[in-house]
Amino acid sequence: MNEKPRSATTKDRLVAAAYELFEERGFDATTAEDIARRAGVGRTTFFRAFGSKDDVIFPEHDQLLGRIDERLAAATPATRALALSEATRVVLRHYLDEGELARARYRLVGSVPALRARETGGIQQYQRLFARWLREWMSDLPDGHLRADLLAADLVTAHNYVLRRWLRGQTSDPESEFDQAMRVALERYQPSGLEPSSAVVVLRTSATPAAIQAQLQPLLDSEEP
């Protein structure tokens, strides 16, 4: 009852045709009919597959938002900092996996103001999702809601900082730059007034040593890689 492979193929052909034409003649000079024709389908089919011309460039945000939400929902109070970092990493990995497609989108969005607005709208959705969880987690701190909004903005900004460096080809190791960026961003996440280098870990005494090790390892890895 999901999508059939044939349907995915049609969408993929449309995306490929769109990127080709956008790079050939620019976004504004390309009509929806041009894209449809090159993909070998009718104009109607194009608008059925993508609600608008912009949507060809920005697909599947909803899916990413869902994965972030899942990751944050699974966090325990002791692992929240890690969950924030990992949820953000989900987005980074998505773009890294896209490879050249992500770079083509970056070039395109950078040259078309209308698409820029659309992209920042998508980014804002991530930020609001993070803020929703963080407000819940930090609501009893002084200025908790404000600090939650700030941390959400920092996470998204740190992500974009690393992503854009990678998109521009300014880094060959985005993952470790991302680790460092997350460390800086998460300086804001200090539930109590502890030293930045300390950590609070809560473990069930009934847990096996192996389980404890499994939970601790990623925390330690993210501290000193």
Partner DNA sequence: CTGTGTATTGGTACTCCGTACCTTATAGAC
Partner DNA sequence: GTCTATAAGGTACGGAGTACCAATACACAG
Tell me which of a second copy, DNA, none is bound by residue 146, counting a contact when its beta carbon lies within the kind-specific cut-off of 5 to 8 angstroms.
a second copy
SS3 for 100-154, per residue? HHHHHHHHHHHHCHHHHHHHHHHHHHHHHHHHHHHHHHHCCCCCHHHHHHHHHHH
d(CA 74, CA 29): 46
Amino acid at 89: R
Binding residue for a second copy, selected from 44, 63, 111, 124, defined by CB under 8 A: 124
Q: What is the DSSP letter of 56?
A: G
Binding residue for DNA, selected from 16, 20, 38, 43, defined by CB under 7 A: 43
Draw the binding track, 51-70, toward DNA (x: CB under 7 A; -: no contact).
xxxx----------------
Using CB under 7 A as the binding rule, the residues of this chain from 4 to 33 that contact DNA are 6-7, 10, 30-33
d(CA 136, CA 133): 5
Q: Which stretch binds DNA (CB under 7 A): 47-55, 102-110, 157-165, 185-193?
A: 47-55
Using CB under 8 A as the binding rule, the residues of this chain from 176 to 205 that contact a second copy are 180-181, 184-185, 188
Using CB under 8 A as the binding rule, the residues of this chain from 137 to 176 that contact a second copy are 143, 145-147, 149-150, 152-154, 156-158, 160-161
Phi, psi values for residue 16, rounded to 5°? -60, -45
Phi, psi values for residue 210, rounded to 5°? -65, -40
CB 74 within 8 A of CB 134: no
Question: Which residues of this protein are in contact with DNA, per CB under 7 A?
Answer: 6-7, 10, 30-33, 36, 40-45, 47-49, 51-54
Residues found near a second copy in the complex (CB under 8 A): 113, 116-118, 120-121, 123-124, 143, 145-147, 149-150, 152-154, 156-158, 160-161, 180-181, 184-185, 188
